[in-house]
Amino acid sequence: MTRYAKARFAAYAQILSFQETLEAFKADPDGQRGNLDKSIRTIHQLVGSVTKDFENKQQSGEGRDAISATLALAEEQPPMDI
């Protein structure tokens, strides 16, 4: 698997996990606040890691394609009712 495919897979998995976390937070805001905070930190770390990697590769054509594909995948997700 290329580095970009791994980043895309990780981003997709994190989006799904974040959706579940938001649903849990919606049901129990006080009890799930820590999980929501942790999920947001994980997203920040993932974005920082992927961004740094893409910057190091000077936005090659493959890198741009991977970013576009990941953003398109995120846009396909149904909106969350929170």
Amino acid at the residue 53: D
Residues 66-69: contacts with CB under 8 Å, at least 24 apart: 66/4, 66/5, 66/7, 66/8, 69/8
Phi, psi of 17 (to 5 degrees): -65, -40
For the chain, the structural domain boundaries read: 3-75
- 19: three-class secondary structure by DSSP: helix
Q: How far apart are CA 37 and CA 82, in angstroms?
A: 16
In order along its 82 residues, the chain shows pLDDT tens digits of: 577 778 888 888 889 999 999 999 999 999 999 999 999 888 888 888 877 766 666 555 666 666 667 667 666 666 655 5
